[in-house]
Structure 1
């Protein structure tokens, strides 16, 4: 019996969104916007509870402590991170750090 809708396993999802971006808060309120040229998906149980908006190829939100992660396909197109004063990286010592890993291992 053939399936009409393919079922994606965790491995299949990693193949579709093979890259990982991690935002690390530094204890100061900050905001971020990430744009990729493919799909982007937050790695969280409930993105709405995290107050993060993911729309098409862009994710935006706020962070002060902890980490926020996104898996994505394609290339990183743009990253904008600003601290609570609106000072952007690299001019702000308190803005979050951003780590991008292409071909990151599974979730």
Structure 2
């Protein structure tokens, strides 16, 4: 990836697991890539405009360009964020850099 493209991925979405297996889907109107992790090791599917995977504990970070279009998180039973306290937390930072973020 070129440094020009890296500069365009200045936005950051962070998924924070709560100790319960949960699934997430992220869609943006620009490009998205997994930051600071190997998608194969994390079993994360990343396409040009979306990412999906699972998180139990820890943090998943994605750099993206454009605007966030959609975030959908569900707990291990498929219950959505508004109805379950076990779904992951989602943080969105526009103009942030994943390289400078501290761990949650």
Provide TM-score, normalisation by structure 1: 0.86
Tell me which of 55, 66, 74 is aligned to 2:47.
Answer: 55
Name the CA shift for 1:105/1:8 in 2 (closer, same or farther; >3 Å): same
Q: Render the CA deviation track for 1:30-84: whole Å, top value 9, x for unaligned.
A: 0000000000000134111100000110100000000000000000000000000
Kept in 1, the 8 Å contact 2:18–2:87? The answer is yes
Structure 1 alignment gaps of length 5 or more: 1-6
Which residue of structure 2 aligns with residue 68 of structure 1? 60
Is 1:94 aligned to residue 50 of structure 2? Answer: no
Q: Flag the structure with higher helix content.
A: 2
Higher CA-based Rg: 1
Query: Which contiguous aligned blocks of 4+ residues in structure 1 show a shift greater than 4 angstroms?
Result: none
Which residue of structure 2 aligns with residue 4 of structure 1? none
Q: How many residues align?
A: 99
